Amino acid sequence: MGETLDTGTVLLILAAAVATYLTRIGGYVLITRMKAIPQRMEAALNAVPAAVLTTLVAPAFFNGGWDVKIALLVALAVAMRHPGLIMLGAGWAAVMVCRHLFGL
Amino acid sequence: MNRSDFKEGLRGGAIIALSSAPFGVLFGAVAIDNGLSFLETLLMSATVYAGASQLVGIELFGQNVEPWLVVLSVFAVNFRHILYSAAIAKYIRHYTPLQKALAFFLLVDPQFADSIRRGESGQGVSFSWYFGFGAVIYVCWSISTMIGAWFGKMIGNPASIGIDILLPVYFLGMVLAFRSRWGFFPVVIASAIGSVAAYHFVGSPWHVSLGAAAGILVATVLPLDTSSTRELPQESEG
Confidence band of B227 (pLDDT split at 50, 70, 90): low
Chain A residue at shortest CA distance from B180: A50
- Domain hosting A92: range is 7-100
CB contact under 8 A, B165 and A92: yes
pLDDT averaged over every residue in chain A:
88
Contact B71 A19 (CB under 8 A): yes
Asked if residue A47 has pLDDT above 90, the reply is no
Does residue A25 belong to any structural domain of this protein? Answer: yes
Q: What is the pLDDT of residues A13-23, one digit of tens each?
A: 999 999 999 99
Instruction: State whether residue B98 sits within 8 Å of chain A by CB.
Output: no
Which chain B residue has the Cα nearest residue A18?
A: B48
Domain presence at residue A1: no
**How many domains does chain A fold into?**
1
Are A21 and B104 inside 8 Å of each other by CB? yes
Candidates B137, B141, B110; CA nearest to B43 is B141
Name the most confidently modeled range: A76-80, B56-60, B120-124: A76-80
Q: Is the Cβ pair B234, A37 closer than 8 Å? A: yes
Q: What is the ipTM of this complex?
A: 0.82
Q: pTM for the whole thing? A: 0.72
Contact A59 B199 (CB under 8 A): yes
Per-residue pLDDT tens for A51-65? 888 988 999 999 999
Q: What is the pLDDT of residues A72-82, one digit of tens each?
A: 999 999 999 98
Provide the 10 A C-beta neighbour count for residue B8: 18
A24 and B CB contact within 8 Å: yes
Average pLDDT value for residue range B19-33:
88
Q: Is the pLDDT of residue B207 over 80?
A: yes
Residue B224 DSSP one-character state: P
Cβ burial of A101 (10 Å; 0-12, 13-18, 19+) is: exposed
Q: How do residues B142-162 score in pLDDT, each as one tens digit?
A: 999 999 999 876 766 667 778
Residues of A in contact with B38 (CB under 8 A): 3
Does A2 map to a domain? no
User: Cα B12–B13–B19 angle (5° rounding)?
Assistant: 105
- The answer to whether residue A16 is domain-embedded is yes
Does B168 reach chain A within 8 Å, measured CB to CB?
yes
Whether A38 maps to a domain, the answer reads yes
pLDDT digits (tens, 9 = 90+) for B191-203: 999 999 999 998 8
Residue A83 domain-assigned? yes
Q: How many CB atoms lie within 10 A of CB A73?
A: 14
How many angstroms separate the first and last alpha carbons of chain A?
Answer: 30
Domain ranges for chain B: 3-162, 178-226
Above 70 in pLDDT, residue B228?
Answer: no
CA distance B106 to B112: 9
d(CA B110, CA B114): 6
Would the pLDDT of B17 be above 50? yes
Question: Torsion angle, CA of B105/B148/A69/B189, rounded to 10 degrees?
Answer: 0
Mark yes or no for CB contact A43/B212 under 8 Å.
no
